[in-house]
Amino acid sequence: MAAALKRTKLFDFHVGKKAKIVPFAGWEMPVQYPMGVFAEHLHTREKAGLFDVSHMCQLRFYGKDHVKFLEWASPADIQELPTGKGRLSVLLDDEGGVIDDCIFNRYADHIYAVVNAGCADKDLARFRELLGKFKGDVTMNVEEGKSLVALQGPLAAAVLSRYVADLPKLDFLYGRDASIKGMPVHIQRCGYTGEDGFEISMDHANATAIADLLCSNSEVACIGLGARDSLRLEAGLCLYGHELSQTMDGKPFTPIHAGLSWLITKRRMEQGGFIGHTHVQACYKNMKSDMVPVRRVGIKSSGSCAREGAVISAVDGAKAAIGHVTSGCPSPSAGGNVAQAYVKREFAAAGTKVTLNVRGRNVEGEVVKMPFVATRYYKAAK
- State pLDDT tens for residues 261-302: 999 999 999 999 999 999 999 999 999 999 999 999 999 999
Separation of alpha carbons 89 and 260, rounded Å: 9
Residue 3 has a pLDDT of: 77
Residue type, 249: D
Same-domain status, 31 and 163: yes
Same-domain status, 51 and 196: yes
Is 359 exposed, middle or buried (CB count within 10 Å of its CB: 0-12, 13-18, 19+)? exposed
Same-domain status, 299 and 194: no
Same-domain status, 190 and 302: no
Separation of alpha carbons 6 and 8, rounded Å: 7
- State pLDDT tens for residues 208-255: 999 999 999 999 999 999 999 999 999 999 999 999 999 998 999 999
Cα of first residue to Cα of last residue in the chain, in angstroms, is 56
Residue 2 has a pLDDT of: 67
Domain harbouring 189, CATH code = 3.30.1360.120
Same-domain status, 202 and 310: no
Q: Does residue 315 register a pLDDT over 90?
A: no
Is residue 347 a part of any domain in this protein? Answer: yes
Is residue 33 a part of any domain in this protein? Answer: yes
Q: How many CA atoms lie within 13 A of 13 on its CB side?
A: 26
Range of the domain at 45: 6-57+145-222
Separation of alpha carbons 100 and 239, rounded Å: 9
Contact 90, 64 (CB under 8 A): no
Q: How many CA atoms lie within 13 A of 146 on its CB side?
A: 22
Residue 317 has a pLDDT of: 60
Residue 319 has a pLDDT of: 73
Is residue 210 a part of any domain in this protein? Answer: yes
Average pLDDT (305-318) is: 89
- State pLDDT tens for residues 333-342: 999 999 999 9
pTM assigned to the model:
0.96
Contact 51, 149 (CB under 8 A): yes
Nearest to 169 by CA among 110, 178, 301: 178
Residue 180 has a pLDDT of: 98
Same-domain status, 198 and 314: no
Contact 167, 373 (CB under 8 A): no
Same-domain status, 149 and 36: yes
Separation of alpha carbons 171 and 188, rounded Å: 9
Residue 382 has a pLDDT of: 66
Average pLDDT (39-44) is: 98
Average pLDDT, the chain: 96
| Overall domain count for the chain | 2
Give phi and psi for 199, each to the nearest 5: -105, 130
Q: Does residue 379 register a pLDDT over 60?
A: yes
Question: Among 171, 188, 222, which residue terminates a domain?
Answer: 222
Domain harbouring 335, CATH code = 2.40.30.110
Question: Among 222, 253, 285, which residue terminates a domain?
Answer: 222
* CB neighbour list of residue 335: distance below 8 Å, 6 or more residues apart: none
- State pLDDT tens for residues 126-167: 999 999 999 999 999 999 999 999 999 999 999 999 999 989
Strands 6-7 and 27-32 come out as: parallel
Q: Does residue 354 register a pLDDT over 80?
A: yes
Same-domain status, 21 and 170: yes
Is residue 81 a part of any domain in this protein? Answer: no
Is residue 42 a part of any domain in this protein? Answer: yes
Question: Among 197, 222, 247, which residue terminates a domain?
Answer: 222
Is residue 18 a part of any domain in this protein? Answer: yes
Is residue 281 a part of any domain in this protein? Answer: no
Average pLDDT (361-376) is: 96
Q: How many CB atoms lie within 10 A of CB 206?
A: 19
Q: How many CA atoms lie within 13 A of 81 on its CB side?
A: 28
Residue 1 has a pLDDT of: 57
C-beta pairs of 236-241 under 8 Å, 24+ apart in sequence: 236/194, 236/298, 236/340, 236/370, 236/371, 236/372, 237/192, 237/194, 237/371, 238/101, 238/296, 238/340, 239/327, 240/98, 240/100, 240/101, 240/116, 240/118, 240/119, 241/118
Average pLDDT (191-218) is: 98
Separation of alpha carbons 298 and 189, rounded Å: 26
Contact 151, 159 (CB under 8 A): yes
Is residue 199 a part of any domain in this protein? Answer: yes
